[in-house]
């Protein structure tokens, strides 16, 4: 029976509860014929053993490479990539420190910090799409009212290695607000608010203050400055850079994927630079500058220099050089047109004539010749020379400035009326009065003792040291020996001798302050936080000649005002002493005009020196000195 056939797989209802419903309703045939089994083949291998081994090796090598790379990225370079990720998440902003201010001796501010809006572009977050980038440039050019080509040229300047590009300085408020709004959708735009210098043109201090300029690559490499920082380039800004500059702060901001600011993570506050108190008297400075400008215009003499020293300690009360320039043009992006006008000016407005201009000293050098002759006992106060109009040596005539001469002359009258014959005689000798004079070597020796031919060490850069000639120098330079006429010219401050107005002022200070001269300086004190560092003046000249000889020369300098070439100074409310000078430098040009003075005569408070280039013999330097002293001693 089929029912009992053991080789028959039954189909239909399955009553086993464990497989109930299994292939229900499925029609798969009535039975399986196991007779076909012996006709089948066994399942064999797909690969040979050799191929399996190579696959295993390749698989293992791949795993090792992946493992090694993962180890390198996570263990070796993990810190680096962590920082990169943080850098994408965190933006750092520099917070500019305020530069230290400068005040005059009475606390009046001489320079200010004024905040301006600045437009920067961050190249790292420029739109990647070229159309989006051009759209950004078009919007910026439209707001700034510049051409797109000029804007792109400044952005892609190959010399600029910074990713943060300064596009515009001193943005007007309305433009800054429009750009801030645009920056909400353009993360590459950064509108910053930073301080810049503002100088007071009416004080005439541009040469003394100097100006700030762009940093160099060396400054950036030293990590002391960032791109677009400003650094002192000349004047006090340069000399006291380390004190004034301060320390920038930094702010770290969390940004999202679109570089929009989310949170401030940390902040290091900036440390403002230290303030300086200068020896300058702002009112005296402004008045001196005003007087010089007025006389320069009146007499069409645009080139002048003047300095007022504190006789007691060498502090600079006022200093001005004409023509002047406006140092505010350097506080923002340099205006090349304005700068070109300055550099093309034949009168050299960038030159500080007080410390960098060198000139024949003229007759104010006669105070040094007098001191040398007295100290060497070549003459005494009673020695006299009869001036009849000049001295004839061989075929050369050396004149007095008065054609008829000055008459019988002692050292007092020689200084007061600037008698050339007297100084020819004591300097180079004159058979009628002296067989031998000081000679050029002794004259130069005393010139050096009075500080000529070397730096005064004033706290300004670019000081000239002047020039003192010698016999050997002339032979080496001109292949010509030194003549007696050269000594005569040297004796009255002419010829090859060159000095600066500041050196002339320090020389006159010796006679003003009883033989004690201090290095000229601007710094009075610096304020670092709550601490004040007071400057101690340094001695420059002392004990050059005896007190008796000093007083003899002082008397002659006083007679210059009472009876001599500077009688107009009698209008000053106090007694004044000094020496006038006229210095020839070119036969075809008008000579320079000098006046070096001090007052009060009995106990000097100030020493003044004024030089007018090509001022002639009309006493313009005396006029400026008189007008200033009249004002100063009436305050």
**DSSP, residue by residue, 577-629:** EEEEEEE---TTSPPEEEEEEEESSSS--EEEEEEETT-TTS-HHHHHHHHHH
Q: Is the pLDDT of residue 129 over 70?
A: yes
pLDDT score for 295: 97
User: Confidence band (pLDDT; 50, 70, 90) for 183?
Assistant: confident
pLDDT score for 41: 55
Region of poorest pLDDT, from 13-17, 136-140, 289-293, 612-616: 13-17
Q: Is the pLDDT of residue 23 over 60?
A: no
Q: Is the pLDDT of residue 25 over 80?
A: no
pLDDT score for 624: 98
Q: Is the pLDDT of residue 302 over 80?
A: yes
The residue ranking higher by pLDDT, 453 or 256, is 453
Instruction: State mean pLDDT over 230-255.
Output: 90
Instruction: State mean pLDDT over 514-518.
Output: 96
User: Confidence band (pLDDT; 50, 70, 90) for 368?
Assistant: very high
pLDDT score for 80: 57
pLDDT score for 264: 77
User: What CATH number should be reported for the domain whose range is 291-331+354-632?
Assistant: 3.40.710.10
pLDDT score for 89: 62
User: Confidence band (pLDDT; 50, 70, 90) for 163?
Assistant: confident
Instruction: State mean pLDDT over 482-499.
Output: 95
Cβ-based burial of 354 (10 A; exposed 0-12, middle 13-18, buried ≥19)? buried
What is the domain partition of the chain in residue ranges?
91-278, 291-331+354-632
pLDDT score for 51: 73
User: Confidence band (pLDDT; 50, 70, 90) for 331?
Assistant: confident
Closest CA to 142 of 175, 113, 166, 110: 175
User: Confidence band (pLDDT; 50, 70, 90) for 259?
Assistant: low
Pairing of strands 249-255, 90-95: antiparallel
* 572 dihedral zone (left: phi>0; alpha: psi -120 to 50; beta): beta
pLDDT score for 167: 84
User: Confidence band (pLDDT; 50, 70, 90) for 280?
Assistant: very high
Q: Is the pLDDT of residue 394 over 90?
A: no
Reported as type and span, the H/E element at residue 80 is helix 78-89
Q: Is the pLDDT of residue 360 over 70?
A: yes
Which residues partner with 304 through β-bridges? Answer: 322, 612
Q: Is the pLDDT of residue 43 over 80?
A: no
Q: Is the pLDDT of residue 35 over 70?
A: no
As given in the structure block, the two tokens for residue 253 are 């901001």
What whole-number distance in Å separates Cα of residue 610 and Cα of residue 604?
17
Mean pLDDT of the chain: 87
- In this structure, which topology does domain 91-278 adopt according to CATH? Penicillin-binding protein 2a (Domain 2) (3.90.1310)
Which of helix, strand or coil describes residue 498? strand
- Percentage of the chain with pLDDT > 70? 87
Q: Is the pLDDT of residue 38 over 60?
A: no
Instruction: Write the CA distances from 19 to 11, 13, 23, 110, integer angstroms.
Output: 13, 11, 9, 105
Instruction: State mean pLDDT over 13-38.
Output: 50
Which of helix, strand or coil describes residue 251? strand
What whole-number distance in Å separates Cα of residue 347 and Cα of residue 10?
126
The residue ranking higher by pLDDT, 396 or 365, is 365
User: Confidence band (pLDDT; 50, 70, 90) for 408?
Assistant: very high
What whole-number distance in Å separates Cα of residue 340 and Cα of residue 253?
42
pLDDT score for 42: 56
pLDDT score for 457: 96
pLDDT score for 5: 59
User: Confidence band (pLDDT; 50, 70, 90) for 10?
Assistant: low
pTM: 0.82
Q: Is the pLDDT of residue 386 over 80?
A: yes
């Amino acid at each position: 029976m089929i029912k009992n056939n053991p080789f028959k797989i039954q189909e239909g209802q399955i009553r086993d509860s464990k497989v109930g419903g299994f292939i229900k309703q499925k029609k798969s045939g009535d039975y399986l014929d196991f007779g076909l089994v012996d006709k089948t083949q066994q399942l064999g291998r797909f690969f040979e053993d050799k191929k399996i081994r190579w696959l295993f090796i390749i698989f293992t090598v791949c795993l090792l490479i992946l493992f090694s790379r993962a180890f390198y990225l996570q263990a070796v370079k993990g810190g680096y990539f962590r920082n990169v990720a943080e850098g994408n998440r965190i933006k750092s902003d520099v917070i500019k420190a305020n530069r230290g201010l400068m005040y005059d001796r009475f606390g009046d501010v001489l320079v200010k910090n004024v905040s301006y809006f600045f437009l920067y572009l961050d190249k790292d977050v420029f739109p990647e799409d070229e159309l989006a980038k051009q759209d950004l440039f078009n919007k910026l050019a439209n707001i700034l009212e510049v051409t797109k080509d000029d804007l792109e040229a400044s952005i892609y300047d190959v010399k600029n290695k910074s990713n943060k590009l300064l596009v515009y300085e001193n943005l007007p408020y309305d433009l800054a607000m429009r750009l801030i709004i645009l920056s909400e959708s353009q993360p590459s735009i950064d509108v910053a608010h930073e301080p810049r210098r503002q100088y007071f043109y009416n004080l005439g201090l541009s040469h003394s203050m100097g100006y700030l300029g762009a940093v160099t690559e060396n400054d950036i490499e030293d990590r002391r400055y960032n791109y677009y920082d400003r650094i002192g380039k000349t004047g006090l800004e340069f000399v006291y850079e380390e004190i004034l500059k301060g320390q920038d702060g930094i702010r770290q901001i969390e940004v999202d994927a679109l570089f929009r600011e989310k949170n401030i993570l940390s902040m290091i506050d900036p440390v403002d630079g230290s303030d300086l108190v200068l020896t300058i008297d702002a009112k005296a400075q402004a008045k001196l500058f005003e007087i010089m400008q007025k006389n320069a215009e009146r007499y069409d003499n645009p080139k002048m220099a003047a300095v007022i020293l504190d006789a007691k300690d060498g502090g600079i009360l006022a200093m001005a050089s004409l023509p002047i320039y406006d140092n505010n043009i350097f506080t923002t992006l340099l205006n090349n047109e304005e700068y070109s006008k300055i550099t093309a000016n034949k009168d050299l407005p960038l030159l500080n004539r007080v410390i960098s201009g060198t000139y024949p000293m003229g007759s104010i050098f006669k105070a040094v010749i007098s001191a040398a002759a007295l100290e060497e006992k070549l003459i005494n106060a009673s020695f006299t020379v009869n001036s009849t109009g000049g001295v004839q040596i061989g075929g050369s005539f050396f004149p007095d400035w008065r054609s008829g001469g000055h008459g019988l002359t002692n050292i007092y009258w020689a200084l007061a009326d600037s008698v050339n014959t007297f100084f020819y005689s004591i300097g180079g000798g004159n058979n009628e009065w002296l067989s031998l004079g000081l000679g050029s070597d002794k004259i130069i020796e005393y010139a050096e003792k009075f500080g000529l031919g070397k730096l005064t060490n004033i706290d300004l850069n670019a000081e000239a040291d002047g020039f003192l000639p010698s016999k050997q120098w002339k032979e080496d330079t001109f292949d010509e020996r030194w003549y007696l006429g050269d000594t005569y010219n040297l004796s009255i401050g002419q010829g090859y001798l060159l000095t600066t107005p500041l050196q002339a002022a320090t020389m006159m200070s010796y006679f003003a302050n009883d033989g004690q001269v201090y290095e000229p300086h601007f710094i009075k004190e610096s304020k670092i936080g709550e601490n004040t560092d007071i400057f101690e003046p340094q001695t420059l000249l002392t004990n050059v000649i005896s007190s008796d000889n000093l007083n003899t020369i002082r008397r002659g300098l006083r007679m210059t005002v009472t009876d001599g070439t500077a009688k107009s100074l009698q209008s000053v409310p106090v007694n004044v002493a000094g020496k006038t000078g006229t210095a020839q430098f070119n036969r075809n040009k008008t000579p320079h005009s000098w006046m070096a003075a001090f007052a009060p005569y009995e106990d000097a408070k100030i020493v003044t020196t004024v030089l007018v280039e090509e001022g002639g013999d009309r006493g313009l330097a005396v006029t400026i000195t008189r007008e200033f002293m009249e004002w100063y001693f009436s305050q």
